[in-house]
Amino acid sequence: MRTFRFFLFLMIVFSIPLKAAQTVHIESDVFEFDGVKNKILATGHVVVTQRDIVLKSPRALYDKAKQVIQLLDNVELTHVELHLTCDEATAFGDEDKVEAVGHVHYTYRDIVGDADRAVYDMNKQTIVLTGSPTTRQGEDQLVADTVIVDLKRKKVITQGKAKVKLSVDKLKPR
């Protein structure tokens, strides 16, 4: 009975409602709740799930007051055909956004990219890459101040100074 109550407590505390229709689930080897700061530290095989988005990391810190989850160290984000890795990430539940920082690398279908920082907007289905972003598709490469990958419309948009390197083979008539 004691195990069941503890499990029930974990289900209530860690099924975190961020919006009326959404719930975030956090799984981990160990949870540490700080009642004074109203924060939860999760360590060991942390898996955060919201709708069909999965974030994995060795450690995560949930701030209940701010509705923010920080994933620390070797973060991995998966959403449908998008796979993104980075050093750290912050999930803003009230905005449906994930900010990734440090050695950001992403793959979406046949598009691959790197940057210092990325913001993934789940509602708009866009990834905004800044900090030396590069995007590659096959041998073609795009470098710009800012690269926006629009997953919904299947477009890549640049802002600021940009440089494109295209494979000549694709430009030849067949």
128 found inside a domain:
yes
CB 165 within 8 A of CB 141: yes
Q: How many domains does the chain have?
A: 1
pLDDT above 80 for 69: yes
- Helix segments in 1-157, DSSP class H: 2-14
**Residue 5 confidence (pLDDT):** 34
| Phi and psi torsions of 125, nearest 5° | 60, 50
Reported pTM: 0.78
Nearest CA to 85 among 69, 68, 73?
Answer: 73
User: Any idea which residue has 């912050």 for tokens?
Assistant: 90
CATH at 154: 2.60.450.10
**Residue 18 confidence (pLDDT):** 44
CB 116 within 8 A of CB 125: no
3 found inside a domain:
no
pLDDT tens profile 112-163:
999 999 999 988 989 999 999 999 988 899 999 999 989 889 888 999 999 8
9 found inside a domain:
no
7 found inside a domain:
no
